[in-house]
Structure 1
């Protein structure tokens, strides 16, 4: 006599709901679908573009590094639209916004990621070196936000803007006065933009990374003395991966953060609550 095997019971509502939630978290269907990402050829910008595309979006990737953009486009496919240009050039920025309007049908979000630093003590800095850093990390954020917001307002559908600032908006960095001042300015600019643009349904928030494993941080990551101090004082004992900044940045731009604006999210692995290393001996 053969054994009778009872039919499997249908999954419970709780199990089905849990599965749907897990799928939603993995795919983040509320992520923006039409975005401009500055600094998108490498580092955090590339990681944000990669995350947006994985979540079903398309990206106008805006960066001075045209070769890096071409390489990234080969990796990320047709939804990564390379747009070479400078965040300090209003004409280049307007061209990127026009590209989003023509190729993507509009603009849901802007990620201000492009950054640069030329370190040096204040007494040795010349005006050109100061301007180079501040123009990219602060003036560039203003210009990109201005033209992206104009596009969003014309469309009348709201939008979201994320500014990638730095934990050095809060913590001074020896030899990095221009960078720290620019990043602090960018963080406060994001709050002011949130205040002004909220009436148009546009949310603006900032993310403040600590040390991230990117090409721009190479002068720190490749210095054994600096890294020994970071490892001694950092709570999580390691730099972040770019993807660990992409996830919170995309969250802030997504529908899941629909009631968050004017906020600064520190994503630094605990550097701010640890002891920041003294870089004076290394510069």
Structure 2
């Protein structure tokens, strides 16, 4: 990829999983990074390990004031903002007929509203400072429904459309916005499923590459999308799933 050295990025949900891998890849590329997460202890450890190159910001991405503070702190510390990676997400699963409004709101607010607020304030800064590039982490579930995952799948479908709409609106401001749609990735959030042998086997039956992705395998595509090598890629959805999308979703209902 074109040299990214000297740029400034922020990553939401950057203390674990895909976000953490993106942070590590950014640091290796000599990019200054602001990491947003709720895990204050992990953020302190990351700051200590990368003094001068990384700051941690305790951030609830569903709170607009927190996102405003994140962008302001990034700019104040590192002098700008070139790239943003909106990764924060989680899910409270449940069948549609049983799911509580509270669990639905938790999932949709975190996965969709959090991305909306992030893009809003990242783009506000970039618009007035020459542009930039934003990558939103959606999911294969934006295209493929999942048993007991209506809230998550709906929110991630929303992230994909939000990405396309943002690309449409912001292209005139030299801001590119793209999405990555991961399949099954080995992270703490998926371990509750993949640690159950029968469920893991059901996934493997549907994934032609017969394994979960590694978080680092999401970081490479994410950095590509903000690089100049992707300078004409805008409003795109990059599926990174080991060919899962061509095979279909496993029937998890028998395990619930």
Distance of 1:204 and 1:33 partners within structure 2: 17
2:59 paired residue number: 85
Q: What runs of 5+ residues in structure 1 fail to find an aligned partner?
A: 1-24
- In structure 2, the residue matched to 1:4 is none
Partner of residue 19, structure 2 = 45
Which residue of structure 1 lines up, in the alignment, with residue 151 of structure 2?
178
Given that residues 164 and 208 in structure 1 are in contact (C-alpha distance below 8 angstroms), is that contact kept between their aligned partners in structure 2? yes
CA distance in 2, matches of 1:32, 1:123: 51
C-alpha distance in structure 2 between counterparts of 1:75 and 1:265, whole Å:
32
Most deviating of 130-139 and 266-275: 266-275
Question: TM-score with structure 1 length normalisation?
Answer: 0.88
Paired residues of 1:31 and 1:254 also in contact (CA < 8 A): no
Distance 2:54 2:128 in 1: 24
Taking structure 2 as the reference length, the TM-score comes to: 0.97
Matching of residues 92-241 of structure 1 within 5 Å: 92-155=66-129, 157-241=130-214
1:64 to 33, 38, 60: 38
Residue in 1 that maps onto 2:253: 280
Provide the rounded CA distance (Å) in 1 between the counterparts of 2:19 and 2:103: 23
Contact 1:233–1:276 at 8 Å: present in 2 too?
A: yes
Deviation larger for 67-76 or 271-280: 67-76
Deviations 1:14-39, CA, capped at 9 Å, x for gaps:
xxxxxxxxxxx5xx513672111000
Residues 206 and 264 of structure 1 are in contact (CA less than 8 Å); yes or no, is this contact kept in structure 2?
A: yes
Deviations 1:115-148 (A, max 9, x none): 1011111111011100000001100000000011
- Kept after mapping to 1: 8 A contact 2:141/2:153: yes
